[in-house]
């Protein structure tokens, strides 16, 4: 059976944050369609639907994957990362991912169809080895220094390895990048 590799060009990623903890969940492995991050811990997110705004995509994806409703004023853009992905046929695509923190929501996070095993982690003790390999490059400065980040990370097939040196740049604003 041939695995279909999902191609996404623009996506959001939302992390629920409380005190010094962040909620991560495991992306379900689909035997037919490989989605970026499958089998790894991550926040909640995915690709845009037609005519969706950034915020609408964040709200929909977080509700679908964690069963919580984000309070809009608590949503903060913390990074924009361009992930250049290499497919198993060596074709490439770049996905622009808008990464957010949300500090207020309604409901109790629980597993959905795509994300399971939600667990709170101390921001000072992240499970980097169980996350996508490039996460440490962009996510660690966001968590430890509370910096806003623009990043560029290239992956080999199935996001198993980072190719080359990631480019991570601290920014004071995202104006001109959205």
CA distance 77 to 129: 25
Residue-wise pLDDT for 55-77, tens only, equals 999 999 999 999 999 999 999 99
Nearest to 25, CA basis, from 42, 45, 12: 42
Half-sphere exposure of 154 (CA within 13 A, CB side): 8
Contacts of 100 (CB under 8 A, 6+ apart): 12, 13, 14, 15, 58, 75, 76, 77, 78
Q: In angstroms, what is the C-alpha Rg of the chain?
A: 15
For residue 136, the SS3 value is: helix
The mean-pLDDT minimum among 4-8, 43-47, 115-119, 172-176 falls in 4-8
CATH top-level class of 4-171? alpha beta
| Residue that the structure tokens 């369609």 belong to | 33
- Mean pLDDT of the 90-96 span: 89
Contacts of 82 (CB under 8 A, 6+ apart): 94, 95, 96, 97, 151, 152, 153
């Amino acid at each position: 059976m041939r695995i279909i590799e999902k191609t996404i060009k623009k996506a959001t990623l939302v992390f629920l944050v409380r005190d010094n903890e962040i909620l991560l969940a495991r992306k379900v492995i689909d035997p037919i369609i490989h989605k970026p991050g499958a089998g790894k811990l991550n926040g909640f997110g995915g690709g845009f639907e037609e005519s969706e705004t950034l915020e609408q995509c964040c709200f929909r994806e977080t509700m679908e994957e964690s069963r919580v409703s984000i309070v809009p004023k608590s949503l903060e853009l913390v990074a924009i990362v361009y992930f250049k992905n290499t497919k198993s046929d060596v074709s490439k695509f770049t996905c622009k991912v808008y990464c957010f923190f949300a500090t207020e929501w309604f409901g109790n996070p629980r597993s959905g169809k795509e994300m399971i095993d939600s667990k709170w982690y101390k921001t000072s003790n992240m499970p980097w080895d169980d996350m996508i390999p490039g996460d440490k490059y962009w996510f660690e400065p966001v968590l430890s220094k509370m910096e806003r980040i623009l990043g560029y990370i290239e992956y080999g097939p199935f996001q198993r390895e980072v190719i080359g040196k990631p480019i991570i740049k601290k920014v004071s604003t995202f104006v001109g990048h959205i």
